[in-house]
């Protein structure tokens, strides 16, 4: 995280946006387990003992779970159903708490504590059902004031929520157009992050920069915002359970609570945020809160298994593991662990509080976080896809979203990846959806080519007013992006609707709706002449849907001596390599600051060529015309291996006329995961099931057909350039991903070429499309796409 160079009041909004970019978030979107199966039939369960003592603890039901608090530490606890049968049992932690997961919704549950012959029983409670939401009166009775609030969710858990208003305003100055930002990062910390940024003085009681969209940007755009702290983190109560159903429906409860405030304009709220707080929007909107107006998620994911956790069924033990470990640390009870603001409030209190410097009793009480679920363990315990991942995947909720959506994402996102594009079609029934896609990195969602339309969307669909991009942002945007990423940037433009009178809001909204549903910004990094890697695209394409209907599945066949041709060879041949993950560096960026370096105009990439006999390459002849792709690709191999299983990586590149080679996209697959979901798969987009029941070892001395999904991309291969595909062990082509691979450098993999079993790549080629007369970018210009000197692989391609 970078500090500010001076304390001047340079556009508050600009500084705020810089803070957003400085977040090394994700986001990712990691899936953890959801607990055990539903209750067994009561007749098969042991009868509970008869209570003989009065209970002095609290127990409540949540969504598919129940909890007990304030019991004696280490005491035996029984969860008993209405038939007086023991459903679950366990011991309370040192805080006297215990969670019971995987329960069937219903009434009549109780928790018994057992100490010797003394058996005490709690009051009866109900285990809640997902989607059965409280009446509006539950939310209408809650009142939020400016600053830090504690709000009770449907299951009794308290969440910390901080109300932030435009500068100089108080609640009585409302109503305000309002945004909610919901995150597991440090978001509800009550101090003014902007003051901390300007002074250059760190403040443990200020929100993390990764949540600055809500904590700083929204108020500076004249929105009120409410920063909602995810359960089990910070000063919120409950047990952290990443993207579990209680977390998802907390989003519903938060939106409904905020929407019922009389200081909220029209009693409708929007949601905003990047990465973690972008992903939560998708879950929340899928629950369909009545008071939600629109969402604007940035840099998100869609699949809790495939996106960045187990790409191709191979665990990402680089960025993803680090991120999970950070979430575990954030979920520890304060003050010995947890987030900085929780540590401060539980020990010293808030010097700006009322009264000042008094430990926050709500925050202290809410530190019963020992029942948090270990995201690392639960992820590693589930190397195959199963039903646990379903509700924890944002893509599951896409089709349920009814409100307007403005979504932005990058194909080479070094954190969350391009897999989110696989679920965009699930939004097809929602007419008010606008999606911006581009090459680039995690932070580029707020780049100059998209920020103006983001401001327009929030103003038209949440604030119900004519959009205005603040003048200081227009004047100082270059300085902002230079300070952010040491990169020049295209200028930020004023809204096309800025001159409209306020009476023409409906007209402006109707005109906005005419924008292409899919906007693809091409060659981000070339938008500032003379500054390769500058933030901004030089041209764009618009489409009505994703996948793009104009994209034709176009095969290119692997051939002898590394050839790549439109026609397959009649006779069969083969190419072999050793699967050695140590033959190259595990990633193209290394070190403690690798993630941040990915955002620079010229990252210090170390992208090494395929090592001798450690991979194969197939390269086409020089293209006679531009070839533009948009969508996912498929590398279809006929492969034989000396091992029972092997991990495969396929990488698509452009070999340029100047001898440089530019990265485009990659795909991965563990060979034993090769069975496809036939209904979901297409010619250019295979979808392996990744179910344990479908896993199969490779047969001895026989070739198997294996289709490697290559993540979506949009790229213009220029006339004179060559297409190239390489196949190797995993690793070496991504900025900060590492892989827990099976291969140790001894496995020999052999690929069939031509004949009756031809291997190939199938690309989504846009018929008749070209680069619109734009020149070939400089070798290191494209953001998120490193270049290297082209070297032939051992097989000649």
Q: Is the pLDDT of residue 25 over 70?
A: no
User: Are 430 and 750 a contacting pair, CB within 8 Å?
Assistant: no
Q: What is the mean pLDDT of the chain?
A: 93
Per-residue pLDDT tens over the stretch 654-674: 999 999 999 999 999 999 999
Per-residue pLDDT tens over the stretch 704-726: 999 999 999 999 999 999 999 99
* Measured torsion, CA atoms of residues 430, 433, 438, 443, in degrees rounded to the nearest 10: -110
Q: Is the pLDDT of residue 2 over 50?
A: no
Comparison of pLDDT for 33 and 466, the residue scoring more? 466
- For the beta carbon of residue 501, count every other beta carbon within 10 angstroms: 9
Q: Is the pLDDT of residue 12 over 60?
A: no
Q: List alpha helices for 501-597, DSSP H.
A: 505-512, 594-597
Instruction: Give the range among 14-28, 236-250, 470-484 with minimum mean pLDDT.
Output: 14-28
How far apart (Å, rounded) are the C-alpha atoms in residues 489 and 482?
7
Kindly tell me the number of DSSP H helices and DSSP E strands found in the chain. Answer: 17, 31
Q: Is the pLDDT of residue 26 over 80?
A: no
- Backbone torsions φ then ψ of 57, nearest 5 degrees: -130, 170
Taking alpha carbons only, the member of 211, 158, 203 closest to residue 186 is 211
Q: By 3-state DSSP, what share of the chain in percent is helix, strand and coil, each rounded to 5?
A: 20, 30, 50
User: Are 183 and 280 a contacting pair, CB within 8 Å?
Assistant: yes
How far apart (Å, rounded) are the C-alpha atoms in residues 778 and 105?
59
Per-residue pLDDT tens over the stretch 99-116: 999 999 999 999 999 999
Taking alpha carbons only, the member of 442, 541, 438 closest to residue 490 is 438
Q: How far, in whole angstroms, is CA 98 from its chain's centroid?
A: 30
How far apart (Å, rounded) are the C-alpha atoms in residues 159 and 745?
50
Please report the pLDDT score of residue 43 as a whole number. 58
Counting residues of the chain whose pLDDT is more than 70, the rounded percentage is 94
Please report the pLDDT score of residue 388 as a whole number. 83
Where does the pLDDT of residue 306 fall: very low under 50, low under 70, confident under 90, or very high at 90 and above? Answer: very high
Please report the pLDDT score of residue 686 as a whole number. 98
Please report the pLDDT score of residue 36 as a whole number. 37
Per-residue pLDDT tens over the stretch 623-659: 999 999 999 999 999 999 999 999 999 999 999 999 9
Please report the pLDDT score of residue 474 as a whole number. 87
Where does the pLDDT of residue 34 fall: very low under 50, low under 70, confident under 90, or very high at 90 and above? Answer: very low
Per-residue pLDDT tens over the stretch 568-589: 999 999 999 999 999 999 999 9
Please report the pLDDT score of residue 17 as a whole number. 53
Please report the pLDDT score of residue 14 as a whole number. 47
Where does the pLDDT of residue 4 fall: very low under 50, low under 70, confident under 90, or very high at 90 and above? Answer: very low
Q: How far, in whole angstroms, is CA 377 from its chain's centroid?
A: 20
Single pTM value for the model: 0.94
Taking alpha carbons only, the member of 508, 513, 16, 505 closest to residue 266 is 505
Per-residue pLDDT tens over the stretch 136-156: 999 999 999 999 999 999 999
Q: Is the pLDDT of residue 37 over 60?
A: no
Whether omega before 335 lies within 30 degrees of 0, making that bond cis, reads yes
- Token pair belonging to 438: 């581009």
Please report the pLDDT score of residue 42 as a whole number. 52
Where does the pLDDT of residue 23 fall: very low under 50, low under 70, confident under 90, or very high at 90 and above? Answer: very low
Comparison of pLDDT for 253 and 593, the residue scoring more? 253
Q: Is the pLDDT of residue 27 over 50?
A: no
Q: Is the pLDDT of residue 35 over 90?
A: no
Q: Where are the beta strands (DSSP E) in 36-121?
A: 53-54, 58-62, 65-69, 76-80, 86-91, 98-101, 106-115, 118-121
Please report the pLDDT score of residue 39 as a whole number. 43
Q: Is the pLDDT of residue 781 over 80?
A: yes
Per-residue pLDDT tens over the stretch 257-300: 999 999 999 999 999 999 999 999 999 999 999 999 999 999 99
Q: Where are the beta strands (DSSP E) in 263-420?
A: 264-274, 292-298, 405-410
Please report the pLDDT score of residue 592 as a whole number. 78
């Amino acid at each position: 995280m970078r500090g500010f160079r001076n304390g001047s009041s340079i556009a508050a909004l600009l500084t705020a946006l810089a803070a957003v970019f400085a977040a090394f978030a994700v986001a990712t979107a990691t899936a953890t387990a959801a607990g055990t199966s539903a209750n067994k039939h009561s007749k098969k369960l042991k009868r509970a003992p008869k209570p003989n003592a009065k209970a002095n603890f609290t127990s409540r039901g949540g969504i598919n779970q129940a909890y007990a608090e304030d019991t004696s530490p280490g005491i035996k606890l029984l969860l008993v159903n209405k038939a007086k049968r023991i459903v679950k049992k366990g011991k309370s932690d040192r805080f006297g708490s215990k969670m019971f997961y995987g329960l069937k919704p219903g009434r009549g549950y109780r928790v018994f504590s057992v100490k010797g012959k003394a058996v005490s029983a709690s009051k009866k409670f109900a285990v809640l059902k997902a989607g059965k939401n409280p009446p509006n009166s539950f939310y209408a009775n809650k009142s939020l004031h400016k600053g830090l609030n504690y709000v009770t969710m449907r299951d009794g858990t308290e969440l910390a929520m901080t109300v932030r208003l435009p500068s100089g305003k108080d609640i009585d100055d409302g109503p305000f157009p309002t945004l909610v930002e919901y995150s597991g990062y440090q978001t509800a910390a009550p101090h003014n992050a902007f003051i901390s940024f300007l002074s250059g003085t760190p403040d443990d009681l200020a929100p993390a920069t990764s949540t600055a969209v809500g904590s700083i940007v929204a108020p500076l755009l004249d929105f009120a915002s409410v920063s909602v702290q995810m359960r089990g983190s910070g000063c919120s109560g409950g047990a952290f359970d990443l993207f579990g159903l209680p977390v998802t429906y907390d989003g519903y409860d938060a939106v409904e609570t905020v929407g019922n405030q009389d200081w909220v304009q029209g009693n409708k709220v929007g949601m905003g945020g990047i990465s973690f707080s972008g992903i939560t929007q998708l879950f929340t909107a899928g629950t369909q809160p009545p008071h939600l107006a629109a969402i604007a998620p940035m840099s998100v994911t869609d699949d809790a298994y495939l996106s960045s956790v187990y790409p191709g069924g191979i665990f990402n033990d680089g960025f993803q593991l680090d991120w999970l470990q950070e979430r575990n640390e954030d979920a520890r009870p304060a003050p010995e662990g947890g987030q900085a603001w929780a540590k401060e409030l539980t020990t010293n209190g808030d010097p700006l509080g009322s009264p000042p410097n008094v430990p926050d009793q709500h925050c202290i009480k809410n530190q019963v976080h020992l029942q948090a679920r270990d995201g690392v363990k639960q992820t590693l315990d589930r190397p195959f896809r199963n039903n646990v991942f379903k509700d924890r995947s944002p893509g599951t909720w896409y089709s349920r979203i009814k409100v307007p959506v403005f979504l932005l994402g990058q194909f080479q996102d070094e954190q969350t990846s391009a897999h989110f594009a696989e679920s965009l079609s699930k939004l097809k029934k929602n007419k008010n959806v606008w999606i911006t896609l581009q090459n680039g990195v995690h932070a580029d969602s707020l780049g100059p080519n998209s920020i103006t339309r983001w401001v327009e969307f929030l103003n038209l669909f949440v604030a119900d007013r004519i959009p205005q991009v603040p003048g200081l942002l227009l004047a100082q945007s270059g300085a902002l992006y230079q300070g952010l990423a040491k990169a020049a940037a295209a200028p930020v433009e004023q809204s096309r609707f800025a001159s409209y009178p306020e009476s023409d809001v409906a007209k402006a909204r109707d005109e906005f709706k005419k924008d292409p549903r899919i906007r693809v910004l091409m060659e981000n990094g070339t938008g500032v002449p003379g500054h390769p890697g500058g933030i901004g695209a030089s041209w764009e394409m618009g489409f009505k849907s994703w996948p793009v209907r104009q994209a034709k599945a176009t095969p290119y066949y692997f051939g002898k001596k590394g050839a790549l041709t439109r026609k397959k060879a009649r006779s069969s041949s083969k190419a072999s390599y050793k699967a050695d993950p140590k033959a190259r560096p595990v990633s193209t960026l290394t070190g403690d600051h690798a993630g941040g370096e990915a955002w620079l105009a010229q990252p210090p990439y170390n992208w090494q060529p395929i090592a001798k006999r450690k991979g194969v390459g197939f390269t086409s002849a020089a293209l006679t015309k531009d070839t533009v792709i948009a969508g996912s690709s498929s590398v279809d191999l006929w492969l034989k291996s000396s091992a029972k299983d092997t991990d495969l990586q396929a990488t698509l590149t452009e070999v340029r006329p100047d001898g440089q080679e530019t990265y485009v996209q990659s795909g991965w697959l563990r060979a034993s995961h090769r069975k496809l979901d036939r209904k979901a798969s297409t010619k250019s987009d295979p979808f392996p099931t990744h179910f344990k029941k479908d896993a199969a070892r490779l047969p001895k001395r026989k070739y198997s057909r294996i289709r490697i999904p290559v993540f979506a991309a949009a790229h213009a291969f220029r006339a004179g350039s060559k297409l190239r595909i390489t196949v190797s062990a995993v690793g070496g082509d991504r900025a900060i991903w590492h892989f827990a691979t099976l291969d140790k450098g001894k496995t020999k993999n052999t690929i069939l070429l031509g004949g009756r079993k031809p291997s190939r790549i199938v690309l989504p080629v846009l018929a008749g499309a070209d680069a619109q007369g734009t020149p070939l970018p400089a070798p290191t210009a494209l953001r998120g796409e490193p270049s290297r000197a082209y070297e032939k692989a051992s097989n000649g391609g």
